[in-house]
Structure 1
């Protein structure tokens, strides 16, 4: 058992680890500007600072006090920075509460690099899709995301570091297929990776759509993949996709370690990403409700993986794989 000082020292050494990525090229847009992926350090690939589930037709920044959100979230970001995290990927999409100006403020105050996104979220029964998503073509939707990638989000000069989409069910609906097609078009124009909320759903149908469009499948991140069966996970990795186990929490550490071990034994550790899907300030609840901290990966999951698979596996999961997954291709 490591004492706290030794534990933090080992995480800090991993977070620094520039030699691990000395040959790694590529950049990623953070809310404070472009950063070489070799400088991302230890990365949490899927978290949230704020989420508003009211629906695309009613979501509004007038529904919360940004200063209060800042006050609630900042201690959690500072804590995870102290634990060795260097970069946090905020997966809150447009029409679900995305606020890049707030993220930039939190990044500057906490010292964490924060990555935001473009794209539309078609899960949850399409509740979070704007009306124009049903009317416009895949090309028209893609152009909206391309514009954000080139010009900035919501009138700022802050650029997205990836695309966030979401799909429902076991078969792609028409609108969900259109979102995947739009993401493929936008990827080919911008080089941004595509993270899709999928769970146990139609990941391989998404991969088929992207493959037919000529998109390299290592541009695709299967979000919430811990819900799927092992055979589907292995097949996705064999096809080149990223498989993201992002439900790490106090009660799920053992399950996530088992998933990582399974993928490692199958020779696919190099296709695995991990995170909590934690946070968040929940708009509509008093002071955002119960904000789940971002610490379990560092306090419990990382030591468990180190014990099971060794230090190299930790570095691959927390440093090398995220850098490769987030690297912009243009």
Structure 2
């Protein structure tokens, strides 16, 4: 096996993009949860021959450029392995548009494990974690492109997380402790998020290493306050409609002094393999055209907006082993 590309930890505020490691000072306005391409065919059938990279780049570039014109410098691309993550494609798109792109390692357990590879069922948390650590140390899929965060996903049944999803959380904890990569977990309901936080705590990982993805699915907004007070990141990342409701949620967190724990994004895009021209694409602009004017009307300052779009993503994604 080749030598690691870089040391596991890099000091002084570093974030990993598909083009290399940058200072947190260079991250700029960041959309913390978006997609370029997603393929829902399933882990047993997916193959990157199902799409043409250049076609996808040409289809998605205008949407990136539209966001860039509004000041976006970085897009966090949250498509995981076996759902269409294509790091070579992301590098091509970043090179063409000048937008910094951050990709991920990890496995997606939601939707009844449809997107998990076979070994996710048989390997231990330690073995899965080592795969993700190897992505960070050596590069993804034979490239020198490294992940900038860990992406996992769980279903959230009333009876609690399944054993395999608990294993994914434990694996993410182990990988975090070795790499300093932040853990994004597609979760939704608050009950599951707090169960994940307990698993991380048992592994010695602080809540500040955890991003509660799709927190807006939880309608008891007091749970946002509880998670943020613990130090977790509350990701309100479906901002394509219901703008007044999002503005109210963010305002409530601000009033509690917790704006510093909030991430915002659209969960938009994306190219659908198998559909004509990649199907319907949703752009990455609603935050700027719809949400920010509403926040401004509620008294949010430019500093507050920059906290949401620059400071918080930089802190959340910074390489940093967060131990209890």
Same fold (TM over 0.5): yes
Deviation at 1:252, TM superposition (A): 2.0
TM-score normalised according to structure 2 size: 0.93
> Structure 1 residue aligned with 2:29, among 42, 45, 49?
42
Deviation at 1:306, TM superposition (A): 2.3
Output aligned runs, 1:34-183, within 5 Å: 34-170=21-157, 171-183=160-172
Q: Partner residue of 2:295?
A: 305
Cα RMSD of the aligned pairs, angstroms, is 1.1
Structure (1 or 2) with the greater helix fraction: 1
Gaps of 5+ in 2: 1-10
Q: Which moved more, 1:226-235 or 1:147-156?
A: 226-235
Q: Is contact 1:282-1:288 (8 Å) kept?
A: yes
Q: Is contact 2:36-2:271 (8 Å) kept?
A: yes
Q: Is contact 2:156-2:188 (8 Å) kept?
A: no
> Structure 2 residue aligned with 1:203, among 167, 178, 193?
193
SS of aligned partner of 2:129: helix
Q: Is contact 2:236-2:265 (8 Å) kept?
A: yes
Matched, 1:276 2:276: no
SS of aligned partner of 1:126: coil
Deviation at 1:55, TM superposition (A): 0.4
> Structure 1 residue aligned with 2:213, among 220, 223, 239?
223
SS of aligned partner of 2:144: coil
Deviation at 1:167, TM superposition (A): 0.3
Q: Partner residue of 2:311?
A: 320
**1:258, 1:169 → 2: CA distance?**
25
Q: Is contact 1:166-1:197 (8 Å) kept?
A: yes
Deviation at 1:193, TM superposition (A): 0.1
SS of aligned partner of 2:65: helix
Output aligned runs, 1:8-47, within 5 Å: 25-47=12-34
**2:194, 2:274 → 1: CA distance?**
36
Deviation at 1:328, TM superposition (A): 0.4
TM superposition outliers: structure 1 runs of 4+ over 3 Å: none
**2:134, 2:42 → 1: CA distance?**
23
Gaps of 5+ in 1: 1-23
Deviation at 1:71, TM superposition (A): 1.1
**1:104, 1:276 → 2: CA distance?**
21
**1:307, 1:32 → 2: CA distance?**
38
- How many pairs does the alignment contain? 306
**1:243, 1:114 → 2: CA distance?**
21
**1:33, 1:25 → 2: CA distance?**
15
1:142-199 Cα distance to aligned partner (Å, 9 max, x none):
0000000000000000000000000002311000000000000000000000000001
Q: Is contact 1:25-1:38 (8 Å) kept?
A: no
Matched, 1:263 2:253: yes
Q: Is contact 1:163-1:193 (8 Å) kept?
A: yes
